[in-house]
Amino acid sequence: MVEKRCPRLQRDGVYRWFSELPSPQRVEFLCGLLDLCIPLELRFLGACLEDLARKDYHSLRDSEIKANNPADLGSLTNLTDEVVRSKLLVSLALLGSAHREAAGVLFRTLTHIDSVINNYGLQLNEGRTGDEFLLLFTMASNHPAFSFHQKQVLRQELTQIQNIMASTSKNPGTSTLNTMATYPGCHKCQPSGNRWQPES
């Protein structure tokens, strides 16, 4: 009887564990699972995601248009601004996989992170700043709209942010950053949960 119940208990444990993860780790974990799926499983999951996304189509339509418009994205350059970071998160969530030009604009913005940290003294461990940057670069480095080279560069930036946060943390040994796995590719990456919201 115990052996028969174990699979269910383990599954419930995974659900609880996943629900308590911060957004960057949720995205990484989901992308890792997708990389383990076979093509038919991916097609099935794609149909499920398409159905779920359809429910929010109208409410997110305006935000989706802006997220895929290079001109609109070009104005979101100030990474020190919390409002801009929030808009960038929404843009990455709604960016279409075929919109290379829009991804290029986002790439140029995100790769200024070095100058932002060094010139403006941005403290990644203050408030939600570090978590927002982790989520930005986790999403971007897994997003199919970016080229392989761009994702490699973004992954390096993500690692740098993780190292900075770990070195400045009071308890680096217990930091959740150290548990974030690296998955080289993710073809259908959708963040879950209400971690961010588009403008109304």
Q: DSSP letter string over 27-48?
A: HHHHHHHHHHS-HHHHHHHHHH
- Give the pLDDT confidence score for residue 3 in this predicted structure: 46
Helices 23-36, 129-142: axis angle to 10 degrees equals: 20
Q: How far is CA 142 from CA 2, 126, 198, in A?
A: 39, 25, 21
Q: Which residue has the tokens 């020190």?
A: 80
- Give the pLDDT confidence score for residue 196 in this predicted structure: 52
Instruction: Give the DSSP H or E segment for 100.
Output: helix 100-110
Mean pLDDT of each 10-residue bin along the chain, 200 residues long: 60 92 94 96 96 91 94 92 94 96 96 75 74 94 97 94 80 44 41 47
- Give the pLDDT confidence score for residue 25 in this predicted structure: 94
- Give the pLDDT confidence score for residue 1 in this predicted structure: 42
Alpha-carbon distance of 19 to 58, in angstroms, equals 27
Alpha-carbon distance of 174 to 184, in angstroms, equals 25
- Give the pLDDT confidence score for residue 182 in this predicted structure: 42
Alpha-carbon distance of 82 to 168, in angstroms, equals 21
- Give the pLDDT confidence score for residue 41 in this predicted structure: 97
- Give the pLDDT confidence score for residue 84 in this predicted structure: 94
Torsion of CA 43, 15, 145, 195, to 10 degrees: 140
- Give the pLDDT confidence score for residue 128 in this predicted structure: 84
Alpha-carbon distance of 116 to 80, in angstroms, equals 7
Which letter, b or e, does each residue of 167-184 get, where b requires 16 or more Cβ atoms within 10 Å of its Cβ? Answer: eebeeeeeeebeebeebe
Q: Measure the N-to-C terminal CA separation of the chain; round to a whole number of Å.
A: 52
Q: How far is CA 92 from CA 1, 4, 51, 85, 173, in A?
A: 46, 42, 20, 11, 31
